[in-house]
Amino acid sequence: MQYSNIVQRVLELAQQASEARDRAARQLIEQDLRVFLKPLKAAEIYMLATLMYLGLEGGSVAGLMDRYQQMSDTFGTPERAIDQMLTKDSLHKHLRKSLAILESAGVEVDALLTTHIDSPLALLNSSDDVELSLGPWRCDQCGQAIAKPEHGLLQWLIRSKDGHGTGRDLRIVHVNHASPLGLPNGCGPDEREEFSRDGAGLSDVPLHWMLEPDGLVRLLSFVEEGEFSANEVNRIIMRLLVPGYETARPYFQKAIDAGIVELELPDDYFYQSQLGDIVANIPKLEK
Ligand SMILES: [Zn+2]
C-alpha cells in the first residue's frame, strides 16, 4: 500500500473517532484504527508519529528526519508509538496540518519512506541555529581564506581610452603581506605583464574600506560608468556585503543539485533563508 493511502486511511479513521456520538462508538473506531495500524512496518508507524508531531508542534520539513529519529528512539517499539497516537484527540487535525506543511515544501508523502529517506533532502540540517556572518572571504587567486578584512584587497585592472575606462578582472585577493603565495606579486598579477597586454593599470582598495558605505558607492559607480558589468559588480557586492554569501558560495550548485535550495532568482542570487539552508548543510554537501 502506498504510504499516502496509509496516511489517508489513518486520517479518516481518526476523524471518525473524533466525531463519534459517544464513548462506545469512539472506542469501536479506535479499535479499527489499531487493527489497521498493527500490521504496518515499524518505519511506517514511526513516520506517522513523526507527521503527527510535525502537525502538533509545527516546524519545517528540514528537521523531519531528526524528528523521525527521535520518534524511533523515544518509543522504542511501534506499539508504544501507536498508543501515543491514539491518546491524541486531534490526531486527524495534526496529520492534516503536517500534510499541508509537506505540500508547501513540495515533498511527496509517498517519497517519505523511499527515495526521500535516503536523499540529502531527508537528512537536511535545520538552518535555525546557523548564524550567517560576513567573511571569511576566499581569495580569487590562491583559493585560501582571507581571515580578516585587513588581509584582503578588492583589485581590478583598468585601461582608459578617450576618457572612458574599461575594467577587467575584478577580484577579491590577499594583500601582499598576507598572501600564501609570497612576494613579489603575492596574489596579485604582474603589473608590467598586464600593462603590456592591453595597457591596463592595476588598482586596488583595502577590503575593510569596501565593507563601508563608500565601498558600496564605489562599486555602484563602476556600473554607472560602464567600467564593469552589473553581472560582475553585483556578485562582488553580494560577496562583500551579504552575510553567509561567501561561506555558501562554493556550494551553490551542489545545494541546488541536492534539492536543498531552489533557484528563485537569477543564478547566484539567494535569500538569507536559502543561504542558511546551504551553510547548515555544508558538512553533508562536502561528503
Ligand atoms: Zn590569496
Written as tens digits, the pLDDT of the chain (287 aa) is 788 999 999 999 999 999 988 989 999 999 999 999 998 887 889 899 999 999 998 888 877 878 888 887 888 888 899 998 988 888 999 999 999 998 888 888 887 775 443 443 455 677 777 889 998 999 999 999 999 999 999 999 999 988 899 999 999 999 999 999 987 889 999 999 999 999 999 999 999 999 999 999 999 999 999 999 999 999 999 999 999 999 999 999 988 877 788 888 999 999 999 999 999 988 878 87
Q: Are 54 and 13 a contacting pair, CB within 8 Å?
A: no
Measured in angstroms, how far is the CA atom of residue 62 from the centroid of ligand 1? 36
Measured in angstroms, how far is the CA atom of residue 174 from the centroid of ligand 1? 4
Measured in angstroms, how far is the CA atom of residue 285 from the centroid of ligand 1? 24
Measured in angstroms, how far is the CA atom of residue 233 from the centroid of ligand 1? 20
- Domains of the chain, by residue range, sit at 3-124, 131-287
Distance CA 275, CA 279 (A): 6
Q: How many CA atoms lie within 13 A of 15 on its CB side?
A: 11
CA 229 to chain centre: 28
Distance CA 256, CA 273 (A): 14
Measured in angstroms, how far is the CA atom of residue 172 from the centroid of ligand 1? 8
Measured in angstroms, how far is the CA atom of residue 234 from the centroid of ligand 1? 21
Measured in angstroms, how far is the CA atom of residue 204 from the centroid of ligand 1? 14
Measured in angstroms, how far is the CA atom of residue 143 from the centroid of ligand 1? 6
Distance CA 136, CA 158 (A): 27
Measured in angstroms, how far is the CA atom of residue 175 from the centroid of ligand 1? 8
Q: Among 213, 217, 218, which Cα is nearest to 203's?
A: 218
Measured in angstroms, how far is the CA atom of residue 66 from the centroid of ligand 1? 39
Return the bridge partners of 166, or none. Answer: 159
Measured in angstroms, how far is the CA atom of residue 205 from the centroid of ligand 1? 15
Q: What amino acid occupies position 91?
A: L
Q: For the purposes of burial, counting CB atoms within 10 Å of the CB of 268, is it exposed (0-12), middle (13-18) or buried (19 or more)?
A: middle
Q: Which residues of 143-163 are buried (b: 16+ CB within 10 A; e: fewer)?
A: ebbbeebebbbbbbbbbeeee
